Amino acid sequence: MSDPVGSDLFVDLAELEEASEPTLWRWIVDAAPRSGAANMAVDQAVAERCAAGQSLPTVRFYRWSPPAVSLGRLQPFSDLDATQVAALGYEIVRRPTGGRAILHTDEFTYSVIAPAAHPLMRGGVMDAYLRISNALITGLRLLGVQADKAPGDVRAGPDVSAVCFEVPSAYEITAGGRKLMGSAQSRRANSVLQHGSLPLVGDITRLVDVLALTPERARELRVEVQGRACTLAQALGVEESSEQVSFARVVAAMRQGFEQALQLDLRQGELSADELRQAAQLIRTRFGNPDWTHQR
């Protein structure tokens, strides 16, 4: 078996090599899935506490229940067929980050949150994006995926659909030429929040069912997404019931990937009482509030 951590992964991390010891970060794995509003509120609450110097930089791994469609921060609500979303039992939530719609179900989700001045967040959006992509690729290679990242000059054009997983953007993760992981980043109030999704199993085209499209366009888009994106099970060529695509196995590999690629010491922790209170307030005032969700 080849080395899962190729030397090409570290060429952009020269500024980190000065550190003789791994950097201490908090690592949170949610024991149970949360609603869409709760997941976004927790990420935002941690970001606000990191900005204030009250929380350690944090890597969080989590799941969703019930399934939720998340919209990018500036994406039109009209991209969705809200009646069909409700009929399928999905929630709708608007992310604090950009990008396009994602259906969160049967997936592994990560977030990386730190003060904007942290060395890992140094430079611009794409500098941090590249570093985090390297950690994700390291974790995926530990799982046995021949993962790679899209070139840095790839940008989504104006004619791209409302589906996040239609095409990869710069440094997003691919496997066999198909998009495997999508991520989005926000830089506000002295903090950086990046989160992203790894679909583990299931029909990668399910999101198309809840978009406001003509039947003909929906059929076309379903074919396009099927050819351009994949799940972890498809990337590995294993059955969906395989232990190789379990949430627990992905958590373990991704933890190791972040520690190896970014020289982190991830210490398992939990949300503070202040973060939980802030998240509850954010659910009421923002992420669970129709005024926020239905904007645009």
The alpha-carbon radius of gyration of the chain (Å, integer) is 18
Q: Which of 102, 136, 164, 204 is catalytic?
A: 164
Q: Quote the CA–CA distance of 91 and 235 in Å, as a whole number.
A: 28
**What is the DSSP pairing of strand 58-62 with strand 23-29?**
parallel
The two three-digit tokens of residue 105, written as one number = 């179900």
Interior angle at CA 126, CA 16 and CA 251, nearest 5: 70
**pLDDT averaged per 10 residues in sequence order, the chain, 296 residues:** 33 44 93 98 98 97 98 96 97 95 97 96 90 96 94 53 52 92 92 97 97 96 95 98 97 98 97 98 98 90
Residue 146 burial (C-beta neighbours within 10 Å; 0-12, 13-18, 19+): middle
Residue 52, number of CB atoms within 10 A of its CB: 13
Q: How far apart (Å, rounded) are the C-alpha atoms in residues 172 and 174?
A: 7
d(CA 42, CA 10): 31
Domains and CATH numbers, the chain: 7-293 (3.30.930.10)
Nearest in space to 59 (alpha carbons), one of 112, 121, 131: 112
Active site residue 230: no
Pairing of strands 178-188, 107-115: unpaired
**Phi and psi torsions of 291, nearest 5°:** -60, -35
